[in-house]
Each structure stands twice: as C-alpha cells, then as structure tokens.
Amino acid sequence: MPKIAYWNGRFVHPDDPVVPIEERGHQFGDGVYEVVRVYHGRPFLLHRHLLRLKRSLSAICIDNPHTDEEWAELVEDAIGRSDEQDAMVYLQVTRGIAERAHLFPAVQPSVCLTVRPVTAPALDARGSLLCLPDNRFADVWIKSINLLPNIAAKETAHRVGAVEALFVRNGVITEGSSSNAWFVRDGELWTAPDNRYILAGITRSFVLDLTERLGLAVHMEAIALEELATVDEIFMTGTTTEILPITAVFADARKMSYLKALPDLVKEPLVASVESVHTLWERPLHDGGLLTMKLQQAFRHVIADAASWPRV
Ligand SMILES: Cc1ncc(COP(=O)(O)O)c(C=O)c1O
C-alpha cells in the first residue's frame, strides 16, 4: 500500500476508490508513467524523468498537464507528506475520463501519483536472467502503462528462480522486462542502442555519464544471443534495480529456436511454462564483475551526495 496517493488535484487516502470506470487508463491502458527514485528525501534525476515523460506524452498526443516546475512542486510536496527518505514516486498521466470509444476524446488528462517506501538492494545483491522472446509491441521507447508482456515475462522468470527476464528480438538482446541490459567484454561495455526497441532508461543514461567520468569505452550496440558466451560480465540497470550484477543467464532448453526468429504461429500463454532450463552463461563472482563493481561504487558515491543534486 502506498503511503501517499494523489488523484487529479488532491491528495487522497491510498484506499479511496477515486478512478471512475470510464477512465481511459483503466479501460484502454491509454496513458504513460514514470517511476522516480527518492534518496535521502530528494528525487533522483527528476529532470530526466520529466523529459522522458514529455516525449512519451507527445508520442500519444496527450497534453502535458503540468510544467516542469509544477511537476517538481507536486513530487516534492508528496515526498514531504510521506516523510520517507528512501522511496519511489510513481506518476501516471492518462488521456482522461470519457465514454468508452476508441477515438481520442477532448477531455483533460488524469494525473495520479503515489509515494511508497523502498528498500535499497542489498550491497551484495546478485541475480540471474531468463531469456524470453520480446513479444512487446514495437514502440517500447514510449513508457506506456500497457505492461502485459513485461509483467508476464517477469512472472515467468521468477517461476524458474531468475530475477528478471531478458528479452530477445530476432536473436538480438534488447533489454529486461523492467531494466536495461549491459555487457562487458574485454574491459569495454555494450548496451542496446537508443531506438524504438528499448526503453532508454534514466539509470542507463546516468550509467553512461559514469562510464564517461571513468573513461570506459561504451558500444551502443545490441549483443546477439549467440555472442553471449564471449561476454565477461552482465549487469542490469533501472530506477529501483540500480546496478544489479548478473551471475547466470538461462533459457528454455526446449525452445531455443523461438528466441532466434520471429515468434511462430503457435499461440502460447504469455506466462510461459518453462520446464527445462538450460544455462547459457554463468560467471562465479570471484571470476569477474570488476567493472560492474566499479560502476556500482561510482553510483553509490553520487547517491550519498544527494544534497548537491539540481532540482529540475
Ligand atoms: C522495459 C524497461 N526498460 C528499462 C527500464 C529502466 O528504466 P529506468 O532506468 O528509467 O528505470 C524500465 C523501467 O521500468 C523498463 O520498464
């Protein structure tokens, strides 16, 4: 349960049933969202989240209901009311309330926001990934609230003990279900390019800044599934994931072929049942993770210095 909830101009009790049935986000998933991490009571990289929000809104022709300054005031007000130092702010804008019909109605957008406490990942957190076909629509750069393939993939991954799904589109690794993927090979980094097939993460953009500061070479190129064996380190990035070192990558042993090509015609449930897991990549931690740790250290250093962050 979030600690703080806001709906269209007022703070409400998180249990209040405020969203009407004929609300476009509720009925069509007709909206976009952002998740902002709060460290030491300060929203992290809020200006970048607001920029991405603007892009997502304009991609689906919803007017931004607030200026950056108004957004910052709302977010800061909500954080202040929650009295949380470590939290996440969820903010969502949908097309609004109107009689259900596909064409866009001329109504005011709806805004909702929540603040909930977050426990930072343990310093020694590690995880594994399950490769799954990237069956999302082809414009995932828009941070749409339509997340059915993402939640189904995460659920499938968790059912085999992996922390995250690793999406593969036509044999190429795109990203995770709620995180971006990074690969280290011979001391250099690879991450998928900023195109329609990934959500360009705010954490990814920040890690790119860190690589520049540390003088690391980065290739904005996707890694093919077949190249995985040549990779030394893997980590995932995301607002709540932060920088997560990966120790193993699995795939469904019976279905490797469906990762290499377009999905076949057989209709399968989105939450796939994976019976036999095959390990595609594995690295014991003592055998690597040096560059990942270096970036984690640099990341934590910035977080510790929250007082110096710009507002928006
Ligand atoms: C599909 C997807 N990719 C990447 C990310 C990471 O983005 P960010 O670093 O902005 O949280 C997310 C975050 O939710 C996501 O849903």
Last residue of one domain, picked from the residues 66, 98, 117? 117
Last residue of one domain, picked from the residues 117, 145, 165? 117
Between the CA of 32 and the centroid of ligand 1 the distance, in Å, is 13
Between the CA of 201 and the centroid of ligand 1 the distance, in Å, is 5
* Ligand 1, atom 12: closest residue by C-alpha: 178
Would you say residue 312 lies in a domain? no
* Ligand 1, atom 8: closest residue by C-alpha: 201
Is the pLDDT score of 306 beyond 70?
A: yes
The verdict on 18 and 112 lying in the same domain is: yes
The verdict on 157 and 298 lying in the same domain is: yes
Domain that holds residue 71: 4-117
One-letter amino acid for residue 191 of the chain: T
Average pLDDT over residues 16-34: 97
The verdict on 109 and 135 lying in the same domain is: no
Query: Domains in the chain: how many in total?
Result: 2
Last residue of one domain, picked from the residues 71, 90, 117? 117
Q: Output the CA angle 93-35-66, nearest 5 degrees.
A: 40
Q: Which SS3 state, helix, strand or coil, does residue 29 take?
A: coil
d(CA 242, CA 245): 10
- Which residues 6+ apart lie within 8 Å of 304 measured at CB? none
The verdict on 164 and 82 lying in the same domain is: no
The verdict on 295 and 147 lying in the same domain is: yes
Q: What is the pLDDT of residues 213-257, one digit of tens each?
A: 999 999 999 999 999 999 999 999 999 999 999 999 999 988 788
Average pLDDT over residues 155-183: 97
Active-site annotation, residues: 143
The verdict on 113 and 148 lying in the same domain is: no
* Ligand 1, atom 16: closest residue by C-alpha: 178
Is the pLDDT score of 285 beyond 80?
A: no
Ligand 1 atom at minimum distance from 206 CA: 9
Between the CA of 250 and the centroid of ligand 1 the distance, in Å, is 21
CATH number at residue 102: 3.30.470.10
Please spell the DSSP secondary structure of 55-119, one letter per residue.
Answer: HHHHHTT---SS-HHHHHHHHHHHHHHHT-SSEEEEEEEE--B--S-SSPPS-PPEEEEEEEE-P
Would you say residue 46 lies in a domain? yes
The verdict on 294 and 150 lying in the same domain is: yes
Would you say residue 310 lies in a domain? no
Which pLDDT score, from 0 to 100, does residue 2 have? Answer: 80
The verdict on 57 and 167 lying in the same domain is: no
The verdict on 179 and 242 lying in the same domain is: yes
What the block records as the tokens of 30 is: 């007709």
The verdict on 104 and 202 lying in the same domain is: no
Would you say residue 122 lies in a domain? no
Phi-psi region of 96 (alpha: psi -120 to 50; beta: other; left: phi over 0): left
Percent of the chain past pLDDT 90, that is, above it, reads: 85
CATH number at residue 133: 3.20.10.10
Site residues for ligand 1, CB cut-off 6 Å: 35, 150, 175, 178-180, 199, 201-204, 237-239
Between the CA of 106 and the centroid of ligand 1 the distance, in Å, is 30
The verdict on 171 and 251 lying in the same domain is: yes
d(CA 189, CA 217): 6
Give the position of tokens 């189904």.
Answer: 152
Alpha-carbon distance values, 161 to 15, 115, 155, 270 (Å): 32, 29, 10, 18
